[in-house]
């Protein structure tokens, strides 16, 4: 019984936190741009350039590979929207729908979602698979994207 209470409390706290993030992002009218493969190549990284591929952005980028039907993707979305608000001017965040952009997802070997790709301005992209809590996402932003710019 005690275990059930703990799980219920954690679920309530997680929902409250996600709802708060979504509400704050909504108030600031934040919408993460969805990219097609052509836009991805233009704004982030030319996946067709092989070894000569270079990062195209002026700021570090997070790309969220997701699907509309994916529960963990839906839970992750408010955290990314809030990160876009909290790190405004420092990073860009984009979304790629794996059902609509199958070829692009395949080029990155996306076989499970959500998958976050972190593209620092300098350095190699890193990927993080699966749902992550807000604090962990912010830690990745600080460590993988912002630390490398200093």
- Catalytic hit among 32, 44, 70, 144: 70
Q: Which of 25, 61, 63, 73 is catalytic?
A: 73
Residue 101 CA to residue 79 CA, distance in Å, equals 23
The pLDDT tens digits of the residues spanning 108-118 come to: 999 999 999 99
CA distance 110 to 107: 8
Question: Residue 6: pLDDT above 60?
Answer: no
First to last CA, the chain: 50
Name the range with the highest mean pLDDT among 16-20, 89-93, 145-149: 89-93
pLDDT digits (tens, 9 = 90+) for 26-61: 555 678 999 999 999 999 988 887 777 788 889 999
Any catalytic annotation for residue 70?
A: yes
Instruction: Please say if 15 is a catalytic residue.
Output: no
Q: What pLDDT, on the 0 to 100 scale, is given for residue 53? A: 77
Domains with residue ranges and CATH for the chain: 2-149 (3.40.30.10)
pLDDT, tens digit, 9 for 90 and up, residues 66-102: 999 999 999 999 999 999 999 999 999 999 999 999 9
pTM: 0.78
| Per-residue pLDDT at 148 | 57
On average, the pLDDT of the chain sits at 84
Name 25's bridge partners: none
């Amino acid at each position: 019984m005690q275990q059930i209470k703990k799980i219920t409390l954690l679920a309530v706290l997680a929902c409250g936190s996600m709802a708060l993030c979504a509400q704050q992002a909504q108030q600031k009218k934040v919408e993460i741009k969805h990219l097609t493969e052509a836009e991805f190549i233009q704004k982030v990284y030319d996946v067709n350039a092989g070894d000569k591929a270079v990062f195209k952005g002026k700021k570090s980028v997070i790309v969220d590979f997701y699907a509309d039907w994916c529960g963990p993707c839906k839970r992750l979305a408010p955290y990314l929207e809030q990160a876009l608000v909290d790190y405004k001017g420092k990073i860009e965040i984009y979304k790629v729908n794996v059902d609509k952009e199958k070829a692009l997802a395949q080029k990155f070997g996306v076989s499970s979602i959500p998958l976050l790709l972190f593209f620092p301005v300098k350095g190699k992209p890193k990927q993080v698979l699966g749902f992550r809590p807000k604090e962990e996402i912010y830690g990745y932003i600080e460590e993988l994207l912002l630390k490398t710019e200093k």
